[in-house]
């Protein structure tokens, strides 16, 4: 973590701390922010993968799904405790990410995008067809709420859990970025030739970041499953993978803060546009297009530039 990250981090912590009080008993706002938190988790991992390892994943909805289904299946059918299922999902996602990433990240170019696209589709089919376990297209219901030491977490407590995890992983990510590993990844971005000559094994770190981003997505999936207690394959489709990519791009892939901003905006935007009814999708698309036309490096970088011009 650098000093310049301290103030944004503190302000987020304060907003999160006070939000449940400000929202009063309004469950709607709390749950909206829980979704923002869940999407932020995935977007942060994806932003490290895109902004630092220079790779695009079109399959992160699948890792999100692995987390969700691990939690869902293990707690409803095999009477695991939710925390056990949570870690089982992480473990499974990490192994799968390693197996997908290891061969594809050795190649230069966008093989990763293609491989993850295929992987995402395969998992989508598995979620649909493995009906005895997943409940098939009609979904899996009755997932118990998350319990910690036997205490179920609900309402504001769950909100704090999700955002506590967001902040912890944000810190973790910032540490990684400002370390030997983050430098190595930026070096690969700058000149892969020179990075190699300086002893950096590019593919090794790309795989590590990919696995890390899969772990973030899996955590988000578990939190999602326990939160809404019902999951079905449609939540883990290619469309969601693309939405996740959009969050990173709209916010700005250059920094991890961009992912947070993008996840927040794209999660809240449909809610704000709900009043437009039939025109919602149209407005949503138009806003995204305008943002990317005028701020191709994302909103965060775009705002920075505007501030610099004024100052």
Partner 1 sequence: MSQKVLEVQRLQKFFGGLRAIDALDFTVAEGQIKSVIGPNGAGKTTLFNLITGIFPPTGGTVEFKGKMLNNLKPHDIARLGISRTFQTLELFGNMTVLENVMIARHSRTVAGIFRAGLRLPGVRREEREIKEKAFEELRFMGLENRAMMGATFLPLGEQKLLEIARALATEPQLLLLDEPASGLNIRETERLSETILRIRERGITVMVVEHDMAIVMEISDEVLVLNYGKKIAEGFPRDVQRNREVIAAYLGEELTDA
Give the residues lining the site for partner 1 (CB under 8 A).
Answer: 1, 172-173, 175-176, 179-184, 186-187, 189-191, 193-202, 205, 208-209, 212
Structure-token pair, residue 43: 């977007």
Structure-token pair, residue 302: 């775009």
State how far the Cα of 262 lies from the Cα of 291, in Å rounded to an integer: 11
State how far the Cα of 298 lies from the Cα of 282, in Å rounded to an integer: 20
State how far the Cα of 240 lies from the Cα of 235, in Å rounded to an integer: 7
Q: How far is the CB of 195 from partner 1 (least distance, A)?
A: 7
Nearer to partner 1 among residue 209 and residue 291 (C-beta) = 209
Nearer to partner 1 among residue 23 and residue 187 (C-beta) = 187
SS3 call for 265: helix
Q: How far is the CB of 210 from partner 1 (least distance, A)?
A: 11
Q: How far is the CB of 282 from partner 1 (least distance, A)?
A: 38
Class of residue 80 by CB neighbours under 10 A (exposed 0-12, middle 13-18, buried 19+): middle
Q: How far is the CB of 209 from partner 1 (least distance, A)?
A: 7
Class of residue 286 by CB neighbours under 10 A (exposed 0-12, middle 13-18, buried 19+): exposed
Nearer to partner 1 among residue 183 and residue 304 (C-beta) = 183
- Cβ 279 vs Cβ 267: under 8 Å: no
Strand pairing partners for 39? none
Nearer to partner 1 among residue 157 and residue 189 (C-beta) = 189
Strand pairing partners for 230? 141
Nearer to partner 1 among residue 205 and residue 227 (C-beta) = 205
Q: How far is the CB of 157 from partner 1 (least distance, A)?
A: 25
Nearer to partner 1 among residue 48 and residue 266 (C-beta) = 48
SS3 call for 203: helix
Q: How far is the CB of 198 from partner 1 (least distance, A)?
A: 5
């Amino acid at each position: 973590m650098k000093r310049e990250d301290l103030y944004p981090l503190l302000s987020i912590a304060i907003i999160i701390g006070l939000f449940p009080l400000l929202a009063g008993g309004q469950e709607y706002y709390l749950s909206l922010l829980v979704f923002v938190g869940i999407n932020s988790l995935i977007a942060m991992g994806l932003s490290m993968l895109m902004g630092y390892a220079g790779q695009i994943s079109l399959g992160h909805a699948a890792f999100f799904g692995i987390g969700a289904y691990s939690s869902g299946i293990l707690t409803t059918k095999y009477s695991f405790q939710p925390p056990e299922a949570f870690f089982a999902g992480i473990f499974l996602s990490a192994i799968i990410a390693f197996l997908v990433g290891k061969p594809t990240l050795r190649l230069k170019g966008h093989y990763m995008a293609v491989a993850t696209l295929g992987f995402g589709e395969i998992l989508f089919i598995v979620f649909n067809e493995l009906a005895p376990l997943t409940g098939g297209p009609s979904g899996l219901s009755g997932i118990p709420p998350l319990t910690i030491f036997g205490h179920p977490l609900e309402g504001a407590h769950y909100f704090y859990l999700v955002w506590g995890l967001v902040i912890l992983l944000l810190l973790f990510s910032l540490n990684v970025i400002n370390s030997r590993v983050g430098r190595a990844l930026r070096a690969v971005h700058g000149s892969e030739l020179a990075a190699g000559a300086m002893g950096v094994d590019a593919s090794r770190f790309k795989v590590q970041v990919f696995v890390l981003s899969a772990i973030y997505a899996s955590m988000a999936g578990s939190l999602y499953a326990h939160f809404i207690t019902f999951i079905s394959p449609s939540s883990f489709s290619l469309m969601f993978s693309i939405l996740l990519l959009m969050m990173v791009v709209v916010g700005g892939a250059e920094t991890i803060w961009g992912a947070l901003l993008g996840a927040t905006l794209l999660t809240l935007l449909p809610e704000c546009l709900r009043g437009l009814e039939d025109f919602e999708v149209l407005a949503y698309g138009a806003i995204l297009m305008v943002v990317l036309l005028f701020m191709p490096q994302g909103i965060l970088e775009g705002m920075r530039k505007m501030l610099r011009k004024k100052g």
